C-alpha cells in the first residue's frame, strides 16, 4: 500500500510541475512574490 501511495504522490507532483511549465508569469504574480518573500543578503 505504501509503495502505491508513493507512486501516486510522485505522479501527482510530476503532473503539477508539468502544468506550471506552460504558465506565463504576470506583473501581478511578480508583485505578489516580492510582497510575500524576504531575502537576506550576507
pTM for the structure as a whole:
0.42
Question: Measuring CA to CA, how many Å separate 29 from each of 11, 17, 24, 25, 34?
Answer: 26, 17, 9, 6, 9
End-to-end Cα spacing for the chain:
46
Record the cell numbers describing residue 1, joined without a space.
Answer: 500500500
Q: Mean pLDDT score of the chain, rounded to an integer?
A: 86
What mean pLDDT do residues 17-28 have?
88
What mean pLDDT do residues 8-22 have?
86
Amino acid at each position: 500500500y505504501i509503495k502505491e501511495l508513493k507512486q501516486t504522490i510522485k505522479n501527482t507532483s510530476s503532473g503539477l510541475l508539468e502544468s506550471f511549465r506552460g504558465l506565463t508569469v504576470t506583473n501581478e504574480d511578480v508583485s505578489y512574490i516580492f510582497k510575500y518573500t524576504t531575502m537576506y543578503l550576507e
